[in-house]
Amino acid sequence: MKILGLIVGTVIFIIIALVVVDVATAPTVTKGQCLLDRRIILPDVCLNTCNPPFDCTLTTRPYGLFWTQAATCMDAVICG
């Protein structure tokens, strides 16, 4: 039982570490740009620097069983 608990604890730690890496390694987006952020565990998203931010996702693809993630983003974004 101790080995099973150790394995489960290690798996949980690895998943948490990968989520932190996903959030911390977001690419830098310049003004007027929309960029696809490919992630390891979290769903892929399109990032932009517009104020207020909006969703610049063009197409999506399945993620897991019930969700979707960004597949492509707009090429150029004009911020107002």
Q: Which two tokens stand for residue 23?
A: 């959030």
**Does residue 36 lie in a domain region?**
yes
**Does residue 32 lie in a domain region?**
yes
Q: Give CA–CA dist 70/30, Å, rounded.
A: 19
**First and final CA of the chain: distance in angstroms?**
59
pLDDT at 79 over 80: no
**Residues 6-23: pLDDT tens digits?**
999 999 999 999 999 988
With contact defined as beta carbons under 8 Å apart, do 28 and 51 qualify?
no
The count of structural domains within the chain is: 1
Average pLDDT over residues 61-80: 86
**Does residue 21 lie in a domain region?**
yes
Domain carrying residue 18: 2-73
**Does residue 53 lie in a domain region?**
yes
**Does residue 68 lie in a domain region?**
yes
**Residues 29-49: pLDDT tens digits?**
887 788 889 988 889 999 888
Q: Judge if the upstream peptide bond of residue 52 is cis by omega within 30 degrees of 0.
A: yes
Q: Which two tokens stand for residue 27?
A: 């690419």
**Does residue 47 lie in a domain region?**
yes
